[in-house]
Amino acid sequence: MNSRRHKQKSPWKKAALDKRETLIIDHLDSGRMLAWFALQNYDDTGRFLSEILSQADARHSLSSQERGLAVDVASGVVRRRRALDTLLESQISRPRSNVEPDLWRLLQLGTWQVVYSRTPEHAAVDTTVELAKQSGRERWCSFVNGVLRNVVRLLSTDNSDDFATDALPTESGTYRKLNQSILPDPANDLVEYVGRAFSLPRSLARRWCGRMSRFDLTNSCFHSLKVPQITLRVNRLAATVGLVQDALREHGVDVTPGSNDWSLNLAHASMVTALPGYAEGWWSVQDDSAMLSAELLAPQSGEKILDLCAAPGGKTTHLAELSGDMAQITACDVSQRRLHRVADSIERLKLTGATPVLVERDGSDIPAADYDAALVDVPCSNTGVLSRRPEARWRFREDEVQELVQMQTRLLLTAFGHVMPGGRIVYSTCSIEPEETSQLVENITERVPGLNLVSQQLQLPGQLSDGAFQALLKKT
């Protein structure tokens, strides 16, 4: 078949990759096709799914419902990938190395729908087989159909309430019983069970199993699989919680109070920029645990505040709101592109006290001032926000944690050098790993005279919302 005929017959094109045949999507006409494209692109490039999907928007005219389906499927597959592989490996006799990469991705996509989505099982099977046809790979159809029907037969209608070789975690905090024991025995190898059942790399599963109680481990693991809800922080300078809540409900949005007095949770909202109050600056999107950083710093009117890692701007604008927009906030970042997001948020929220500033990575050109306080929200391994950033679990590397610790230490010391005596610093991260949190703070305060720990707080995933850590320090 020549390329012209193939293109006319199918929305896909062939390309050689590592001597294997892979699929490159020419146009995208369904949410499942977009999800398959995103998964292929993610595997090939390692980019974030959100970036891939945003760029792909120019190549399709899908409805918001279909695009939402693509986001759910693609992020669900990445989030559950190790569990999906375990399910598939139990039902396929040939080695995975003998299955074409795009075919394996298609099976992952179908298995996720069969096991974890609300799509009826027969529809999940049929639509996945149809995707194989649309790709011009009719030779895959019987194989896909047979494997997915085997997966359907693997599922029972019963639930379990604890770890077991035949118990697969669901999103609701329960375990679905399987008709075969395909998971490792948690009594003999808890790390491998947790890693496979909850889709964590072994290194991260080993860390969590080694230091968490069974209760905390279970909560953290279940939260890491949860589809994140959208949380809004109401701008207290422009609106009230009641005003925003009423406006959203009138718009048909299911909204409930958040854990913070100024937060609201949205059950579903595909396009937040189209919601009431966005253009007016009534609210920002921010998780409850992320709100704790600015609140711990407690900015005051007239203070000079250094926000050392400001982008994308959620904590910067929160500092401004808490100070009544009467503090002078220097919002620094090393990326001009990311600083544009900070500036856009400041403008949308109609704030005047925060100024975005581009700085060098070594901090040598941070504007000189007698800063009363500093917020250091550092880049990290993101292990507290695995539900919100599904790719983060697969990016986790032990050696990279040590590199991050060096960067985090440098940033905290930079803030220490710019805050005047008597000033305060909040160190903040969405990691829950000890090296990036309490151990780092302890090491620095032991070695740096004049830097004292006032308080620290760790939120494990699921305790409040996402996992996070904050420490309040004072320069004496």
Instruction: Cite the active site residues.
Output: 430
CA 256 to chain centre: 22
Q: Which of 286, 86, 307, 273 is nearest to 194 (CA)?
A: 86
- Cα 137 to Cα 144: distance, rounded to the nearest angstrom: 11
> Which stretches of 245-361 are assigned E, i.e. beta strand?
255-257, 263-266, 283-285, 304-307, 328-333, 354-358
- Cα 409 to Cα 216: distance, rounded to the nearest angstrom: 28
- Cα 219 to Cα 217: distance, rounded to the nearest angstrom: 6
Helix (H) / strand (E) containing 429? strand 419-429
Please, what is the angle between helix 101-116 and helix 31-45, to 10°? 130
- Cα 174 to Cα 176: distance, rounded to the nearest angstrom: 7
Q: What b/e sequence results for 94-116 when a residue is b if at least 16 CB atoms lie within 10 Å of its CB, and e otherwise?
A: eeeeebebbbbbbbbbbbbbbbb
- Cα 45 to Cα 28: distance, rounded to the nearest angstrom: 19
Q: What b/e sequence results for 142-171 when a residue is b if at least 16 CB atoms lie within 10 Å of its CB, and e otherwise?
A: ebbbebbeebeebbeeeebeebbbbbbbee
- Cα 36 to Cα 38: distance, rounded to the nearest angstrom: 5
Bridge partners of residue 285, in order along the sequence: 232
Helix (H) / strand (E) containing 44? helix 31-45
- What is the number of other CB atoms lying within 10 angstroms of the CB of residue 367? 13
